[in-house]
Homo-oligomer: A and B are copies of this chain.
Protein backbone atom coordinates (compact mmCIF):
# COMPACT_ATOMS: atom_id res chain seq x y z
CA UNK A 1 0.00 0.00 0.00
CA UNK A 2 2.70 2.43 0.98
CA UNK A 3 4.61 1.28 -2.09
CA UNK A 4 1.67 1.98 -4.31
CA UNK A 5 0.92 5.44 -3.09
CA UNK A 6 4.53 6.57 -3.09
CA UNK A 7 4.99 5.12 -6.51
CA UNK A 8 2.03 6.92 -7.96
CA UNK A 9 3.04 10.12 -6.22
CA UNK A 10 6.35 10.21 -7.99
CA UNK A 11 5.29 8.74 -11.30
CA UNK A 12 5.46 11.10 -14.24
CA UNK A 13 2.37 13.26 -14.61
CA UNK A 14 -0.45 11.70 -16.54
CA UNK A 15 -0.04 8.28 -15.04
CA UNK A 16 2.68 7.00 -17.33
CA UNK A 17 4.88 4.82 -15.21
CA UNK A 18 7.95 3.52 -16.90
CA UNK A 19 9.65 0.27 -16.09
CA UNK A 20 12.41 0.25 -13.49
CA UNK A 21 15.46 -1.90 -13.24
CA UNK A 22 13.57 -3.96 -10.71
CA UNK A 23 10.87 -4.72 -13.26
CA UNK A 24 13.46 -5.76 -15.79
CA UNK A 25 15.17 -7.98 -13.22
CA UNK A 26 11.88 -9.66 -12.34
CA UNK A 27 11.07 -10.24 -15.97
CA UNK A 28 14.46 -11.69 -16.76
CA UNK A 29 14.59 -13.67 -13.53
CA UNK A 30 17.84 -12.10 -12.35
CA UNK A 31 18.85 -9.58 -9.71
CA UNK A 32 18.97 -5.86 -10.35
CA UNK A 33 22.73 -6.06 -10.01
CA UNK A 34 22.85 -8.19 -13.10
CA UNK A 35 20.62 -5.79 -15.00
CA UNK A 36 22.87 -2.96 -13.95
CA UNK A 37 25.88 -4.92 -15.13
CA UNK A 38 24.34 -5.54 -18.52
CA UNK A 39 23.50 -1.88 -18.96
CA UNK A 40 26.89 -0.68 -17.84
CA UNK A 41 28.80 -3.15 -19.93
CA UNK A 42 30.24 -5.24 -17.10
CA UNK A 43 30.92 -8.86 -17.81
CA UNK A 44 27.79 -10.98 -17.74
CA UNK A 45 27.23 -14.47 -19.09
CA UNK A 46 26.05 -14.48 -22.68
CA UNK A 47 22.77 -16.29 -22.01
CA UNK A 48 21.95 -14.06 -19.05
CA UNK A 49 22.82 -10.95 -21.00
CA UNK A 50 20.51 -12.09 -23.77
CA UNK A 51 17.61 -12.61 -21.39
CA UNK A 52 18.12 -9.22 -19.78
CA UNK A 53 18.32 -7.43 -23.08
CA UNK A 54 15.16 -9.12 -24.17
CA UNK A 55 13.38 -7.98 -21.03
CA UNK A 56 14.65 -4.45 -21.54
CA UNK A 57 13.27 -4.38 -25.05
CA UNK A 58 9.95 -5.87 -24.05
CA UNK A 59 9.40 -3.38 -21.28
CA UNK A 60 10.82 -0.43 -23.18
CA UNK A 61 13.04 0.15 -20.20
CA UNK A 62 15.28 3.20 -20.06
CA UNK A 63 17.52 4.00 -17.12
CA UNK A 64 16.44 6.79 -14.84
CA UNK A 65 19.18 9.31 -15.14
CA UNK A 66 18.31 11.13 -11.94
CA UNK A 67 18.74 7.98 -9.89
CA UNK A 68 22.00 7.20 -11.56
CA UNK A 69 23.24 10.72 -11.02
CA UNK A 70 22.23 10.68 -7.39
CA UNK A 71 24.14 7.49 -6.87
CA UNK A 72 27.18 8.43 -8.93
CA UNK A 73 27.43 11.96 -7.65
CA UNK A 74 27.59 13.47 -11.09
CA UNK A 75 25.07 14.49 -13.71
CA UNK A 76 26.86 14.22 -17.04
CA UNK A 77 25.82 17.78 -17.79
CA UNK A 78 28.12 20.73 -18.41
CA UNK A 79 27.01 24.33 -18.65
CA UNK A 80 28.12 26.74 -21.32
CA UNK A 81 27.51 30.22 -19.97
CA UNK A 82 27.75 33.09 -22.44
CA UNK A 83 26.11 36.45 -22.72
CA UNK A 84 23.90 35.47 -25.66
CA UNK A 85 23.99 32.33 -27.79
CA UNK A 86 22.96 34.11 -30.94
CA UNK A 87 26.13 36.15 -31.03
CA UNK A 88 27.70 34.40 -34.03
CA UNK A 89 31.02 33.77 -32.35
CA UNK A 90 29.34 32.08 -29.40
CA UNK A 91 26.95 30.21 -31.67
CA UNK A 92 29.90 28.78 -33.60
CA UNK A 93 31.70 27.93 -30.39
CA UNK A 94 28.58 26.38 -28.90
CA UNK A 95 28.24 24.16 -31.91
CA UNK A 96 31.76 22.84 -31.49
CA UNK A 97 31.48 22.40 -27.76
CA UNK A 98 28.15 20.60 -27.96
CA UNK A 99 29.53 18.17 -30.52
CA UNK A 100 32.79 17.53 -28.70
CA UNK A 101 31.11 17.17 -25.31
CA UNK A 102 28.85 14.55 -26.76
CA UNK A 103 31.87 12.50 -27.78
CA UNK A 104 32.86 12.46 -24.13
CA UNK A 105 29.40 11.47 -22.97
CA UNK A 106 28.44 14.92 -21.74
CA UNK A 107 25.49 17.09 -22.61
CA UNK A 108 25.70 20.86 -22.80
CA UNK A 109 23.19 23.12 -21.22
CA UNK A 110 23.07 26.77 -22.17
CA UNK A 111 23.00 29.58 -19.69
CA UNK A 112 22.63 33.12 -20.94
CA UNK A 113 23.95 35.79 -18.66
CA UNK A 114 23.17 38.76 -20.88
CA UNK A 115 26.38 40.15 -19.43
CA UNK A 116 24.48 40.84 -16.21
CA UNK A 117 26.83 40.87 -13.20
CA UNK A 118 24.27 39.16 -10.97
CA UNK A 119 23.78 36.34 -13.40
CA UNK A 120 27.50 36.04 -13.85
CA UNK A 121 27.87 35.81 -10.10
CA UNK A 122 25.31 33.04 -10.10
CA UNK A 123 27.20 31.15 -12.80
CA UNK A 124 30.50 31.44 -11.00
CA UNK A 125 28.91 30.18 -7.83
CA UNK A 126 27.70 26.91 -9.22
CA UNK A 127 24.33 27.88 -10.65
CA UNK A 128 22.19 27.37 -7.61
CA UNK A 129 21.70 23.67 -7.50
CA UNK A 130 24.20 20.99 -8.25
CA UNK A 131 22.84 20.53 -11.72
CA UNK A 132 26.07 20.51 -13.67
CA UNK A 133 29.39 18.78 -13.28
CA UNK A 134 31.27 21.76 -14.62
CA UNK A 135 30.97 25.15 -16.25
CA UNK A 136 32.55 26.76 -19.29
CA UNK A 137 32.08 30.46 -18.82
CA UNK A 138 32.77 33.49 -20.94
CA UNK A 139 32.68 36.42 -18.52
CA UNK A 140 31.66 39.88 -19.59
CA UNK A 141 31.24 41.90 -16.44
CA UNK A 142 33.28 39.93 -13.94
CA UNK A 143 36.95 40.43 -13.62
CA UNK A 144 39.62 38.26 -12.24
CA UNK A 145 39.13 39.43 -8.68
CA UNK A 146 35.42 38.71 -8.70
CA UNK A 147 36.16 35.23 -9.87
CA UNK A 148 38.97 34.71 -7.38
CA UNK A 149 36.47 35.49 -4.65
CA UNK A 150 34.13 32.66 -5.53
CA UNK A 151 33.38 30.11 -2.81
CA UNK A 152 31.91 27.45 -4.99
CA UNK A 153 34.04 24.50 -6.03
CA UNK A 154 32.24 23.46 -9.21
CA UNK A 155 34.92 22.92 -11.85
CA UNK A 156 35.12 26.07 -13.94
CA UNK A 157 36.89 26.99 -17.14
CA UNK A 158 37.07 30.60 -18.24
CA UNK A 159 36.96 31.60 -21.86
CA UNK A 160 38.26 34.65 -23.62
CA UNK A 161 40.48 36.31 -21.13
CA UNK A 162 44.17 36.17 -20.95
CA UNK A 163 45.02 36.72 -17.33
CA UNK A 164 48.18 35.22 -16.03
CA UNK A 165 48.02 33.55 -12.62
CA UNK A 166 44.29 33.40 -13.06
CA UNK A 167 41.82 32.33 -10.43
CA UNK A 168 40.60 29.39 -12.54
CA UNK A 169 41.53 27.34 -15.56
CA UNK A 170 41.16 29.26 -18.71
CA UNK A 171 41.72 29.15 -22.41
CA UNK A 172 42.25 32.09 -24.68
CA UNK A 173 44.26 33.31 -27.58
CA UNK A 174 46.92 35.94 -27.07
CA UNK A 175 44.57 38.87 -27.53
CA UNK A 176 47.26 41.48 -27.19
CA UNK A 177 49.41 39.94 -29.89
CA UNK A 178 46.46 39.28 -32.17
CA UNK A 179 45.21 42.85 -31.88
CA UNK A 180 48.70 44.10 -32.52
CA UNK A 181 48.92 41.98 -35.65
CA UNK A 182 45.58 43.26 -36.90
CA UNK A 183 46.59 46.87 -36.34
CA UNK A 184 50.07 46.36 -37.74
CA UNK A 185 48.51 44.95 -40.87
CA UNK A 186 46.56 48.19 -41.35
CA UNK A 187 49.67 50.24 -40.71
CA UNK A 188 51.61 48.17 -43.24
CA UNK A 189 49.03 49.21 -45.82
CA UNK A 190 50.09 52.80 -45.27
CA UNK A 191 47.10 53.79 -43.20
CA UNK A 192 47.88 56.63 -40.81
CA UNK A 193 44.66 57.24 -38.95
CA UNK A 194 43.67 53.86 -37.64
CA UNK A 195 40.59 53.86 -35.45
CA UNK A 196 39.52 51.20 -32.96
CA UNK A 197 35.94 50.19 -32.17
CA UNK A 198 35.01 48.15 -29.15
CA UNK A 199 36.84 49.60 -26.18
CA UNK A 200 35.37 48.74 -22.78
CA UNK A 201 35.99 49.60 -19.17
CA UNK A 202 36.32 46.26 -17.47
CA UNK A 203 39.80 45.52 -16.29
CA UNK A 204 41.34 42.31 -17.48
CA UNK A 205 38.72 42.06 -20.18
CA UNK A 206 39.30 40.85 -23.68
CA UNK A 207 38.48 44.35 -24.85
CA UNK A 208 41.25 45.74 -22.70
CA UNK A 209 43.75 43.26 -24.11
CA UNK A 210 42.83 44.19 -27.66
CA UNK A 211 43.10 47.85 -26.87
CA UNK A 212 46.56 47.26 -25.46
CA UNK A 213 47.62 45.45 -28.63
CA UNK A 214 46.19 48.20 -30.76
CA UNK A 215 48.07 50.91 -28.91
CA UNK A 216 51.28 48.92 -29.01
CA UNK A 217 51.03 48.46 -32.77
CA UNK A 218 50.49 52.17 -33.35
CA UNK A 219 53.52 52.94 -31.29
CA UNK A 220 55.61 50.38 -33.10
CA UNK A 221 54.53 51.87 -36.41
CA UNK A 222 55.46 55.32 -35.19
CA UNK A 223 51.88 56.51 -35.44
CA UNK A 224 50.41 58.93 -32.91
CA UNK A 225 47.55 57.70 -30.74
CA UNK A 226 44.52 59.88 -31.34
CA UNK A 227 42.10 59.26 -28.48
CA UNK A 228 39.20 60.53 -30.55
CA UNK A 229 39.66 57.53 -32.83
CA UNK A 230 39.18 55.05 -30.00
CA UNK A 231 35.50 54.29 -29.73
CA UNK A 232 33.80 52.29 -27.00
CA UNK A 233 31.04 49.79 -27.67
CA UNK A 234 28.63 48.75 -24.98
CA UNK A 235 27.85 45.49 -26.70
CA UNK A 236 29.48 43.80 -29.67
CA UNK A 237 26.51 43.67 -31.99
CA UNK A 238 26.15 45.02 -35.49
CA UNK A 239 24.16 47.92 -34.19
CA UNK A 240 26.97 49.05 -31.93
CA UNK A 241 29.43 48.90 -34.80
CA UNK A 242 27.09 50.92 -36.98
CA UNK A 243 26.78 53.61 -34.33
CA UNK A 244 30.50 53.78 -33.70
CA UNK A 245 31.19 54.13 -37.41
CA UNK A 246 28.68 56.94 -37.66
CA UNK A 247 30.57 58.79 -34.96
CA UNK A 248 33.88 58.26 -36.74
CA UNK A 249 32.64 59.57 -40.08
CA UNK A 250 31.49 62.73 -38.36
CA UNK A 251 34.93 63.59 -37.07
CA UNK A 252 36.67 66.56 -38.64
CA UNK A 253 39.43 64.25 -39.69
CA UNK A 254 37.93 60.78 -40.15
CA UNK A 255 40.07 57.65 -40.01
CA UNK A 256 41.41 55.80 -43.04
CA UNK A 257 41.21 52.43 -41.32
CA UNK A 258 39.42 50.82 -38.43
CA UNK A 259 40.20 47.82 -36.31
CA UNK A 260 36.98 46.44 -34.84
CA UNK A 261 37.26 44.26 -31.75
CA UNK A 262 34.95 41.70 -33.30
CA UNK A 263 33.42 40.82 -36.64
CA UNK A 264 29.86 41.86 -35.91
CA UNK A 265 31.06 45.33 -34.93
CA UNK A 266 32.95 45.42 -38.23
CA UNK A 267 29.95 44.25 -40.23
CA UNK A 268 27.77 46.89 -38.64
CA UNK A 269 30.41 49.53 -39.20
CA UNK A 270 30.80 48.64 -42.85
CA UNK A 271 27.10 49.05 -43.39
CA UNK A 272 27.22 52.60 -42.06
CA UNK A 273 30.36 53.38 -44.02
CA UNK A 274 28.69 52.18 -47.19
CA UNK A 275 25.65 54.33 -46.50
CA UNK A 276 27.89 57.35 -46.11
CA UNK A 277 29.68 56.77 -49.36
CA UNK A 278 32.94 55.30 -48.13
CA UNK A 279 34.57 52.80 -50.43
CA UNK A 280 36.10 49.86 -48.60
CA UNK A 281 39.02 49.37 -48.57
CA UNK A 282 39.95 52.32 -50.78
CA UNK A 283 38.74 55.09 -48.50
CA UNK A 284 38.80 53.08 -45.33
CA UNK A 285 40.15 49.63 -44.58
CA UNK A 286 38.42 47.43 -42.03
CA UNK A 287 39.66 44.55 -39.92
CA UNK A 288 37.55 42.48 -37.57
CA UNK A 289 38.13 39.74 -35.03
CA UNK A 290 36.65 36.22 -34.72
CA UNK A 291 36.34 35.06 -38.32
CA UNK A 292 32.65 34.28 -38.23
CA UNK A 293 30.99 32.78 -41.26
CA UNK A 294 29.18 36.02 -42.11
CA UNK A 295 32.42 37.88 -42.73
CA UNK A 296 33.61 35.43 -45.34
CA UNK A 297 30.61 36.00 -47.59
CA UNK A 298 30.10 39.66 -46.95
CA UNK A 299 30.75 42.19 -49.70
CA UNK A 300 33.49 43.14 -49.17
CA UNK A 301 34.70 40.03 -47.40
CA UNK A 302 36.14 40.86 -44.02
CA UNK A 303 39.79 40.75 -43.04
CA UNK A 304 39.90 39.31 -39.56
CA UNK A 305 41.77 37.55 -36.82
CA UNK A 306 40.81 33.91 -37.00
CA UNK A 307 41.18 32.15 -33.66
CA UNK A 308 41.41 28.38 -33.68
CA UNK A 309 37.86 27.84 -32.46
CA UNK A 310 38.05 24.08 -32.53
CA UNK A 311 41.19 24.40 -30.45
CA UNK A 312 39.40 26.62 -27.96
CA UNK A 313 36.49 24.20 -27.68
CA UNK A 314 38.76 21.20 -27.36
CA UNK A 315 41.01 22.82 -24.76
CA UNK A 316 38.13 24.11 -22.68
CA UNK A 317 36.61 20.67 -22.56
CA UNK A 318 39.91 19.01 -21.79
CA UNK A 319 40.64 21.37 -18.90
CA UNK A 320 37.15 20.93 -17.54
CA UNK A 321 37.12 17.15 -17.75
CA UNK A 322 40.56 16.99 -16.16
CA UNK A 323 39.37 19.11 -13.29
CA UNK A 324 36.20 17.11 -12.84
CA UNK A 325 38.43 14.12 -12.31
CA UNK A 326 41.09 15.80 -10.16
CA UNK A 327 40.35 18.96 -8.25
CA UNK A 328 43.64 19.64 -6.63
CA UNK A 329 45.86 20.87 -9.42
CA UNK A 330 46.74 24.53 -9.76
CA UNK A 331 44.82 26.61 -12.31
CA UNK A 332 46.06 26.03 -15.82
CA UNK A 333 46.10 28.23 -18.87
CA UNK A 334 45.95 27.19 -22.46
CA UNK A 335 46.81 29.65 -25.17
CA UNK A 336 45.36 28.79 -28.54
CA UNK A 337 46.69 29.95 -31.88
CA UNK A 338 45.20 32.48 -34.29
CA UNK A 339 45.80 33.71 -37.79
CA UNK A 340 45.34 36.96 -39.63
CA UNK A 341 43.11 36.34 -42.64
CA UNK A 342 43.49 39.12 -45.15
CA UNK A 343 40.42 39.59 -47.32
CA UNK A 344 38.81 42.32 -49.39
CA UNK A 345 38.04 44.79 -46.62
CA UNK A 346 41.75 45.54 -46.40
CA UNK A 347 42.81 43.86 -49.59
CA UNK A 348 43.95 46.58 -51.93
CA UNK A 349 46.51 48.81 -50.29
CA UNK A 350 46.18 52.49 -50.98
CA UNK A 351 48.99 55.07 -50.79
CA UNK A 352 51.67 52.43 -50.46
Identify the A interface with B (CB < 8 A).
10-16, 18, 60, 62-75, 77, 84-86, 88, 91-92, 94-95, 98-99, 102, 107-112, 126, 128-131, 151, 153, 237-238, 242, 267-268, 270-271, 274, 293-294, 296-299, 324-328
Given contacts A64-B70, A242-B297, whether A327 and B13 have CB atoms under 8 Å apart is: yes
Residues of B within 8 A of A111 (CB): 98, 107
Cα of A238 to Cα of B292 in the assembled complex, Å: 12
Cα of A130 to Cα of B67 in the assembled complex, Å: 10
Residues of B within 8 A of A91 (CB): 85-86, 88, 91
**Smallest CB-CB separation from A301: which chain B residue?**
B271
Given contacts A130-B18, A130-B65, A297-B268, whether A10 and B94 have CB atoms under 8 Å apart is: no
Residues of B within 8 A of A98 (CB): 85, 110-112
Contact yes or no, A293 B130, CB < 8 A = no
Select which of B12, B95, B293 is within 8 A of A238 by beta carbon. Answer: B293
Contact yes or no, B88 A88, CB < 8 A = yes
Contact yes or no, A131 B65, CB < 8 A = yes
Contact yes or no, A85 B74, CB < 8 A = no
Name 18 A/B residue pairs within 8 A (Cβ), A-sorted.
A10-B71, A10-B73, A13-B327, A62-B126, A62-B130, A63-B129, A66-B66, A66-B67, A66-B70, A68-B129, A85-B85, A85-B91, A94-B110, A95-B112, A98-B112, A99-B112, A107-B109, A238-B294
**Smallest CB-CB separation from A280: which chain B residue?**
B299
